[in-house]
Structure 1
Amino acid sequence: MSYIYLVPVAVFLLFQITFLGTYIAAVLQGHVVPTVPYISDDGTYSPESCVFGQLINIGSVLLGITIYIRYRQIQQLYSHHPDLGSLLLRYNKIAVWFGMASCLGISIVGNFQETNVRIVHFTGAFCCFGCGTVYFWLQALITYLVYPIAGSKLYAHIRLGMAIACTILFILIAITGVMSHILFKGDNPRQWYPSDGGWYFHVVSSISEWIMATIFCFYILSFTDEFRDVRLEHPELTFISYSITL
């Protein structure tokens, strides 16, 4: 029996535990106020930053494995059903690159705190949410293309809905996030109070980020049923002998 379907489950659980665990730790340490901080704010200061970075790295690797399994699944599906069309292969190849870029962005966000290297942190966040949203659109399209041979129309509709939601939230995060930082007049954005300015933009932006991250996790979890029919075997290892002529 193959247990490949447990990989997206592990991704879902790990990220949820990471987000909630570091939030609780950051609040208890007094590093953030308990009024909806950004997810990355919870992992800004040690010791929670150490745990946050480590778990995010593990999660990024597991997410990359999930994306690769999905890529190979569609490749194999096309090899048995070439009538699905060459567009499926093209979308699949584009999707895996955007998916891997999103994984890299997640790792960057977890390891480059906003307080230390802001431009790198924001670049990672853009890759995480931006490339991840594109990946979701492509996977929704792929799910429609492979139906009814694989998957279901219900999952296609759900993934399309989540892709639309992520697009709206991504735009909302970008606009309100910029506005909140422009209007912020306080000393520490991790200790953001209504009197510091830009409060409502900050709340909208941070809540949108939490919702979007949760949708990301559920989107990956939606691959579970389709992965039940997948089995990965150990790759073949070939030794190449070189002859040296003196």
Structure 2
Amino acid sequence: MKDLFLFSSFFDSSHTFAYFFHLGIVIVIAMIITKLATSSMQLVPRGMQNLIEAYLEGVLTMGKDTLGNEKAARKYLPLVATLGVIIFLSNIIGIIPGFEAPTASLNLTLSLALIVFVYYHFEGIKTQGFIKYFSHFMGPIKILAPLMFPIEIISHLSRVISLSFRLFGNVKGDDLFLAVILALVPYIAPLPAYVLLTFMAFLQTFIFMILTYVYLAGATIIEEGH
């Protein structure tokens, strides 16, 4: 139903084109924001530089609270901050009439979830070593290892589904909700909906970012006996 509102349909009405069209817009916006924030760096930040520095400081604080130290938080800051920018812009563009959120497609959410999945396992193996890292999958009781190992594998694979489908499902639902509101009462009534959907765009971005930090913490900071 929302395809009726898409500007991308002027060029091509296919869903695939609409996805890449809106993802391209998100990437361009992200690049413009980055350029504006770094084009004239100042000791006392102003404008876009001030906004981006505040954002990065917030992401860094989130990382320190989750990982327990600033060094690790800074190490993973580029990944988590980039995920946050892409996800938020992808979410927020979907509440603008005539556009569709790229995160309302599993193509993007599953890709981002797989990036996080592969990366935190890579960091876990790099930090602890292959054997020690996967030995934690067997649990603290050796006799239960044959049972615990496949359970742990399934648990980690479910994280991909959880990350991708949570984001996709919520954003897709928001898109459909807005489409219904705009179809029924296209003027004053949608204003409260825009406030709610903007909040949801922030919330879903935050959840994805904090879970990324949590998974990284679980892979790189595992105590003996756990």
Interval of TM-score (by shorter of Structure 1 and Structure 2)? 0.3 to 0.5
- Going by fraction, where is helix more abundant, 1 or 2? 2
TM-score with structure 1 length normalisation?
A: 0.38
TM-score with structure 2 length normalisation?
A: 0.40
